[in-house]
Amino acid sequence: MRKYKFFVDLAKEEQWLNEMASQGYVLAGKSGASYRFESGEPGSFVLRIDYRSFKHAADFEDYRLLFEDSGWRHIAGTKSSGAQYFLKKTADQSEDIFSDADSKAGKFKRLSEMWFSLAVCFLPILTALVMAGNIDLTAFLQPAKLYYTPGLWDKTGADFWGAFLFETPFALLRGFIWLILPVSIVLYAVFAAKARKQYNKTLNKI
């Protein structure tokens, strides 16, 4: 069975995957937003998510082997994907890949740092666009300026609507594609703050 879902919150994702497992759907693979499940005995699997990226393939291999040796099967995650999914066959639903609050909280800190660095990466691009005068704010007031079809505004009836609707997607791209940058920066900053909050919450929960 396949399901498509997108999570920003690692804790909620882990909770959902464990709920699925308790209903007999055990995570067997994940690529992007697509989760692949296989059937397994309900209540006999625990799924845990770690967040960690690696510089070298050997480090990743060593990391996975430590978990495998400890009885955690690595289900999904690559060297640089960050999220790593581990599954253990056990009736004890409290089994965890972390044994203290510090290390359990640590994954949210790494996640928060990743979102924050993404936000910071986009800042110079936006600054450069603004400085170079590539962003035309008057497009908000006079969107008509974004249409380049000669004589578009003199046309009438079906002729006008055909040409107008045809060009609209291009006009929008031309005028507002840059908005992706500030929107992404704000989103990444919000995700970073959320992960940071979760870090503090986990740290204070013994």
Partner 1 sequence: MNRDKNLPLTETVYYILLALTEPAHGYLILQKIEELSLGQVRMAAGTLYGAIDNLLKLKWIQPVQSEDSRRKVYVITDRGMEMLRMDSERMMHMVETTRRRIKL
- Write out the residues near partner 1 by the rule CB under 8 A: 48, 50, 52, 58-59, 61-63, 65-67, 69-70, 72, 96-100, 103-104, 106-107
Contacts of 52 (CB under 8 A, 6+ apart): 63, 82, 84, 107, 110
Residue type, 179: L
Q: Which is nearer to partner 1, 67 or 160 (CB)?
A: 67
Q: Which is nearer to partner 1, 19 or 100 (CB)?
A: 100
Q: Which is nearer to partner 1, 98 or 147 (CB)?
A: 98
Closest approach of partner 1 to the CB of residue 84, in Å = 9
Assess contact for 70 and 130: CB atoms under 8 A.
no
Q: Which is nearer to partner 1, 84 or 175 (CB)?
A: 84
Residue type, 21: A
Closest approach of partner 1 to the CB of residue 165, in Å = 54
Q: Which is nearer to partner 1, 62 or 159 (CB)?
A: 62
Closest approach of partner 1 to the CB of residue 64, in Å = 9
Contacts of 206 (CB under 8 A, 6+ apart): 101
What is the per-residue DSSP string for 135-158? Answer: --GGGGT-GGGG--STTGGG--HH
Closest approach of partner 1 to the CB of residue 54, in Å = 11
**Could you tell me the two tokens for 40?**
């397994």
Distance CA 47, CA 96 (A): 9
Closest approach of partner 1 to the CB of residue 169, in Å = 47
Distance CA 47, CA 45 (A): 7
Closest approach of partner 1 to the CB of residue 78, in Å = 17
Assess contact for 112 and 65: CB atoms under 8 A.
no
Q: Which is nearer to partner 1, 36 or 110 (CB)?
A: 110
